[in-house]
Amino acid sequence: MIAKFSERIYNDLTKDLNELVLEENDLIKRLEKSIHICLKYLRKLKDYCKLNDPQTAEEEIQFFKHIKPRFKSQLIFFQALLNIEIRKPIGESRVIAEYYGNEITILNHFFASNTSFYQYVRTQATYLDSYYFVRGNYDVHLDPDQCMIDFDPSFSTTHDHKLAQVLASALLQEYLEEAIHRINQKETLLTTDVEFKDFDWKQTKCALIELIYSWHATEAFGKKNLKSIVKFIERSFNISLGNFYDTFDWVCGRSSPTLYIDEMKEAFLLRVQKKLK
């Protein structure tokens, strides 16, 4: 029962976060709002868990290994990213890229400090699950989370928070590496030809996703898969489209799924009419 509930509210969490990407252009404000959204859904999960407490060790492991860390990792990710963006230096692209690179070094140190647990997670091992993800167990030789003493014992195990940190760190590393790649690509483009300066996408992300799905449907790039096209467009226009699958679902639910394409068509026909006059 808790698995179905958690899946439903996790989908709601993802939907709210994706809608926020479309609605809020200011990065800092968007990250702040994202944190509050994550907190809201984590509280919902906690309240439901207290009313529908796992009854067996298997249910506990399922919840604290596969369910709670997914929610908690989103909160940790957005909080860490907010801290990084607030402290980001003002200056040349090279300085910002170096700053992001230093943050990746810090993440690598975290992974190195938790090598055995990280390997356990990466290999999808299960032999220590009853120690890591069942409440009430505290084995000092298994490197339990040092903050465990301050956690709610009914909603925490010794390692569910650490697993959430691992998941969040992986998300953060991917974000930082992509940001550095975009900076380097933009710098290369500018040094090649100053004419291409400031060719970032100025319309909404939703509008760009309309175009991407249209290009994919008409095989404008041949047989390239959708994800490859999205990555190419993100790098070309210096933009991050987030979870574009969920955004497309949202677009399909609008009264008119092709708002931007319709706007383009009107603008194009107007240009044709002016040409023919």
State how far the Cα of 1 lies from the Cα of 154, in Å rounded to an integer.
18
DSSP for 183-234? HHHHHHHHHH-GGGTT----S-HHHHHHHHHHHHHTTTTTT--HHHHHHHHH
pLDDT tens for 211-259 read 999 999 998 988 888 888 988 888 778 788 878 888 888 888 888 889 8
Distance of CA 153 to the CA centre of its chain: 28
- Domain-terminating residue out of 194, 216, 241: 194
Residues 56 and 118 in one domain: yes
Instruction: Tell me which of 1-10, 114-123, 216-225, 246-255 is least confident.
Output: 246-255
CB neighbour list of residue 13: distance below 8 Å, 6 or more residues apart: 37, 38, 41, 71, 74
Same domain, 25 and 155: yes
pLDDT of 194 reads 56
Residues 265, 236 within the same domain: yes
- The last residue of a domain, from among 129, 161, 194: 194
- Residue 193: pLDDT above 70? no
Q: Do residue 151 and residue 53 come from a single domain?
A: yes
Q: Residue 260 belongs to what domain range?
A: 200-276
Same domain as 135, residue 48: yes
pTM for this predicted structure: 0.71
213 shares its domain with 187: no
When pLDDT is averaged across residues 177-202 and rounded to a whole number, the result is 71
Confidence of residue 166 (pLDDT cuts 50, 70, 90): very high
Per-residue confidence (pLDDT) for residue 120, from 0 to 100 = 92
DSSP 56: S
Task: Please check whether residues 207 and 182 belong to one and the same domain.
Answer: no
Residue 133 C-alpha from the chain's centroid: 24
**Domain co-membership, 104 together with 224:** no
Based on the domain organization, do 167 and 228 belong to the same domain?
no
87 with 190, same domain: the answer is yes
Specify whether the CB–CB gap between 212 and 233 falls below 8 A: yes
Determine the angle formed by the axes of helices 2-23 and 27-51, rounding to 10 degrees.
Answer: 170
Q: What total of structural domains would you count in the chain?
A: 2
Where residue 165 falls among pLDDT bands split at 50, 70, 90?
very high
Asked if 152 and 268 sit in the same domain, the reply is no
Which of 145, 165, 194 corresponds to the end of one domain?
194
The reply to whether 29 and 85 lie within a common domain is yes
